[in-house]
């Protein structure tokens, strides 16, 4: 068949071993998955109750404009309904942006390490990928990213807080960057973890899109809202920008059930606040572990933390799996000898850290 050159050699996303398979292989009864930054507390109990109590007509297509969910999101964020674009997860928005703007005649600029889907989509579209290492403050190096921009640059990705490092790019730095970037270059600000940010200096990013037509903010219900299964992400941008992207979106990309629950999830901000607080406490368990053992870690504003283990991360990943804990090996994320762990409940964190302490002690790397 006449495959695009760009997809030759691509490998399918490896979601990690299914929980059931891991249980069987290692004779375990319980598995704790702290690998994909899902909310360990699940979603708001109000959403769960709504799902138990309601029936849906499965024969009909969903509302392609997602009116009810659109109104709820626009009101929650404080923007107009025309300033929202929905995706089947923000993963689909990344794909919509890439299909709309990237081609073999263009390039795209991103940090390294950062979220893997930006690069994958760019590769599929045949665009050149320019990866710029984080700076010494472990933030996006916006000066070097600016230098990487030329007349063929179509999209710049800024992941804030960044996955897999967890740090925020300060607004002032983004603002200075936007003043210089040509306004025909789209700057995407991926804020998948925005609800978890606790940095007191963090500022609202909405003014950035209001001021700059070439800015798109991206958010999701998959992380703090605990609704990853429903696949809802959204972009915030000026109407002129979104009207270009809308035709590339699949017409019925959010299900009837997803559209029904999002307004309920948004209403329960008490739940989100509670999740943020519990997550903040959980992060401290990892920070304390790292400080106790003098292991380097990336200060996190998210529900995951990237930290040093002074040992082969693929090996430690495997050993943790045999003991019932699934995490992400830093090697797979471009940061060998580190692990990225999703913050779980206090009990899950303590359980994982006890196992990790044993493993690292047996390797003789702990102080």
Ligand X SMILES: *Cc1c(COP(=O)(O)O)cnc(C)c1O
Q: Which residues bind ligand X (CB under 6 A)?
A: 37, 89-91, 115, 159, 163, 190, 192, 220, 222, 228, 233
Minimum distance of ligand X from residue 345's CB (angstroms): 20
Of 293 and 340, nearer to ligand X (C-beta) is 340
H or E element in which residue 329 lies: strand 328-329
Nearer to ligand X, 96 or 360 (CB): 96
Backbone angles phi, psi at 84, to 5 degrees: -125, 135
The CB density around residue 179, as the number of other CB atoms within 10 Å, is 9
Q: What phi and psi, each to the nearest 5 degrees, are found at residue 289?
A: -60, -45
Q: Considering Cα of 15, then 129, then 163, then 337, what sign does the dihedral take? A: positive
Residue of minimal Cβ distance to ligand X? 89
* Beta carbon of residue 363, minimum distance to ligand X (angstroms, whole number): 30
- Nearest CB to ligand X, comparing residues 233 and 344: 233
Helix (H, G, I), strand (E, B) or coil at 351: helix
Residue 175, burial from CB neighbour count under 10 angstroms (0-12, 13-18, 19+): middle
Minimum CB–partner distance for residue 306 and ligand X (Å): 13
Closest to ligand X by CB, 228 vs 248, is: 228
Among residues 90 and 355, whose Cβ is nearest to ligand X? 90
Which residue, 32 or 90, is less far from ligand X as judged by CB? 90
- Terminal-residue alpha carbon distance, the chain: 57
- What's the CA gap between 4 and 13, in Å, rounded? 18
- The nearest distance, CB 5 to ligand X, in angstroms, is 27
Mention every residue, 6+ apart, whose C-beta is less than 8 A from residue 16: 35, 36, 326
The helix (run of H) or strand (run of E) holding residue 219 is: strand 215-220
Kindly state the smallest distance separating residue 116's Cβ from ligand X, in Å.
Answer: 9
CB of 211 to ligand X, least distance (A): 23
Asked if residue 160 lies in contact with residue 151, where contact means CB atoms within 8 angstroms, the answer is no
| Of 37 and 259, CB closest to ligand X | 37
Compute the least distance from the CB of residue 78 to ligand X, in Å: 21
């Amino acid at each position: 068949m006449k495959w695009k050159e760009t997809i030759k050699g691509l490998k399918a996303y490896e979601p990690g071993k299914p929980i059931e398979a891991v249980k069987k292989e290692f004779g375990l009864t319980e598995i704790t998955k702290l690998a994909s930054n899902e909310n360990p507390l699940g979603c708001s109990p109000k959403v769960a109750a709504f799902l138990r109590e309601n029936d849906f007509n499965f024969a009909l297509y969903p509302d392609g404009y997602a009116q009810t969910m659109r109104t709820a999101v626009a009101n929650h964020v404080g923007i107009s309904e025309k300033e929202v674009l929905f995706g089947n997860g923000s993963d689909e928005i990344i794909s919509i942006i890439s299909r709309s703007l990237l081609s073999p005649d263009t390039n795209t600029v991103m940090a390294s390490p950062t979220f893997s889907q930006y690069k994958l989509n760019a590769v599929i579209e045949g665009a050149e990928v320019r990866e710029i290492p984080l700076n010494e403050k472990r933030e996006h190096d916006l000066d070097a990213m600016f230098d990487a921009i030329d007349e063929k640059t179509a999209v710049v990705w800024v992941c804030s807080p960044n996955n897999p490092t967890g740090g925020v790019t300060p607004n002032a730095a983004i603002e200075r960057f936007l003043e210089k970037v040509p306004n025909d270059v789209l700057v995407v600000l991926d804020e998948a973890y925005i609800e978890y940010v606790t940095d007191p200096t963090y500022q609202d990013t909405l003014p950035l899109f209001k001021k700059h037509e070439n800015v798109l903010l991206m958010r999701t219900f998959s992380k703090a809202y605990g609704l990853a299964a429903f696949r809802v992400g959204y972009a915030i941008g000026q109407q002129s920008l979104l009207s270009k992207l809308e035709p590339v979106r699949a017409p019925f990309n959010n299900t009837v059930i997803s559209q029904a629950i999002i307004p309920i999830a948004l209403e329960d901000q008490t739940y989100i606040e509670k999740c943020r607080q519990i997550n903040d406490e959980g992060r401290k368990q990892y920070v304390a572990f790292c400080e106790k053992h003098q292991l380097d870690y990336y200060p996190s504003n998210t529900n995951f933390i990237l930290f040093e283990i002074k040992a082969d991360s693929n090996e430690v990943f495997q050993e943790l799996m045999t003991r019932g804990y699934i995490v992400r090996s830093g090697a797979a994320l471009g940061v060998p000898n580190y692990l990225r762990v999703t913050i779980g409940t206090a009990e899950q964190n303590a359980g994982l850290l006890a196992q990790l302490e044993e493993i690292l002690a047996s390797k003789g790397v702990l102080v």
